[in-house]
Chains A and B, each alone.
Chain A
Amino acid sequence: MERDDGHWTDNPEMIERFVLHELNPDKLNELEDHLRVCEVCKKAVRSEQIVVAGIRKSGRERFKIELRKKLAEVPEERAPWDSIMAAAAVVVILFSLAYYNRWFTTQEPGISNTVIAQAPRQQGEPEPSLKSEPATPLSGPTEARRESFASRVDQPSRTMASKAIAAADKLADEERQQQSKAPTVMTELDRSADVGALSSAGENADLWVEGKILTTQHEEPQAAPSMAKKEARSRMASEAAKDARMRSNELRVQQHNVQSQNLTLRQQNTTELAPQQQIQQKTKPGVVFTKIQRVDDETQLTLYLDSLLDENELANARIETPTSDSLIVSFSNQRIGYRLPEGWNRQVQVKPAK
């Protein structure tokens, strides 16, 4: 098929539409039939096909280069962020739990003599007699180690100090358990394990100690479920029995009011505690952070409470000294137990009751 003015392939648009398969089937068949007999048209079509293929190939190469650049930025293995975030969340939760359970502290539940930190001395206050004049000579290598720890305590690093002393205490307790075969007289307070403890860091030094709340009266919920009621009744019965046992041991337990001894009770809100101590306090329900200070001939116990007590209640607090190394402060609705370190017990001398 030849046009009047020459080959149909002279029309560039026609040849392009042929190569790009844009012609309708009828026209396409017609031109294909012609191509079989027209070498000029065949050559022209072949030439156009090569040009189009070449342009496409160039386009592909260019695209490939761009794609390669883009893919080069893709990491070998894209990090599974969902999994990473989930794992991170789990780690954070575990650390939080660990912190609240004090997994990473040296103060294990069974270990007594917990010192939180030594308070900074106030101006004009006498030098603590940790090294120079211990009230009671420390005995044994572990006590010496503990003293050594304490003496090296730097004031700014209170946390480190408390950890070091606690570690020394732990060692001391372990050694005591291993070495001492002699039976020890367990007091009610020892057995109850409810009593917070003081460190025997030495007399005249300010100490931070933990008081444990022993009994809370009037706290049974009004509409508690039956099981809870049973538990509460059982707990109260147990406490009553404990109290009875303690009362029966009149020879050892002496009760006095605050005025009857050289002990001054003071109270502060827990908001007055250092931030770190506030955090610690929150993680230890039932613990009252208490600072013991020696001021002149008196011993001052400053209790850091969530809500301050009535002044009368504070004044009428009763002091029990069930053993030489323990002290219980009783208010109308709660009792707080402490263990006194050697050297400090003599400072809390009970005056005769008026």
Chain B
Amino acid sequence: MAAPLTFLNNDSKILSLIRSEDDEGLVMLYEANRKPIRAYISRNNGTEDDADDLLQEALIVLWERVRSNRYQYTARLSTFIYATVKNMWLRRLARLRRESPAEVEEMTGRIESASALDIMIESEEANLIHKALAELGEPCKTLLILYYWEEQSMEEIAEALHLANADTAKSKKYQCKKALHQLLKQKM
């Protein structure tokens, strides 16, 4: 029988906190990584605000991956955060310098910050959808975010939004999505 893994850091605790929807795990990571990230960004012509913004982005990326079971523990969380921030910062710098993001990707390896869908979407389209969602109002906005971003099941969504059951949630989601498409058609 294999001996249980022993972590010499808080990573297992943080991961279990994220899985149990406790934001304290992210707070712990934020505190632990703020200083080195600020140091890295300031060494590379960034500000403290840039560093904090990127660190938050990296935390969200981690959160998304853990919550959707796409995260594999191959390195310490701080390593993941550091690599993600580095990747995002280099991409942002490349964008500013009108360089090819592909070159940056090659430089920084395969640790991705966002999904392919996020990269694909243009900021103009994203703004349109954001506005359409705002117009859609509640509970449609939250329902769609819970389903597509948090990837919650219909049972979880029904519970969170106080709907009768999963079927009601599924039906509601269909209506919301249809309404969103109509709104987007009007805007595009």
Contact = CB atoms under 8 A, between A and B. Distances in A.
B56 to A, nearest CB: 6
Contact of B145 (A49, A62, A70): A62
Given A51-B180, A54-B128, A59 B150 contact: yes
B117 interface: yes
Contacts of A12: 174, 177
Contacts of B17: none
B76 to A, nearest CB: 20
A74 interface: yes
A70 B121 contact: no
A70 B144 contact: no
B149 A60 contact: yes
A74 B126 CA distance: 30
A211 to B, nearest CB: 61
B27 A74 contact: yes
A57 interface: yes
Given A61-B130, A63-B63, A71-B27, A56 B117 contact: yes
B56 A57 contact: no
Given A12-B177, A63-B60, A67-B59, A56 B27 contact: no
Interface in B12-69: 23, 26-27, 30-31, 52, 56-57, 59-60, 63-64
Given A59-B150, A60-B149, A63-B60, A49 B117 contact: yes
Q: Per DSSP, are chain A's interface residues mostly helix, strand or loop, or mixed?
A: helix
A54 B123 CA distance: 9
Contacts of B141: 58
Most buried by A among B52, B118, B129: B129
A55 B145 contact: yes
Interface residues of B, number: 35
Interface in A53-82: 53-64, 67-68, 70-71, 74, 78
The range of chain A's interface size is 20 to 34
B26 A58 contact: no
A3 B149 CA distance: 30
Contacts of B177: 12, 51
21 contacts: A51-B129, A51-B180, A51-B184, A53-B121, A54-B128, A55-B144, A55-B180, A56-B117, A57-B129, A58-B129, A58-B149, A60-B60, A60-B149, A61-B130, A67-B59, A70-B23, A70-B26, A70-B27, A71-B26, A71-B27, A74-B31
Interface of B: 23, 26-27, 30-31, 52, 56-57, 59-60, 63-64, 115, 117-118, 120-121, 125-126, 128-130, 132-133, 141, 144-145, 148-150, 174, 177, 180-181, 184
Interface of A: 12, 20, 49-64, 67-68, 70-71, 74, 78
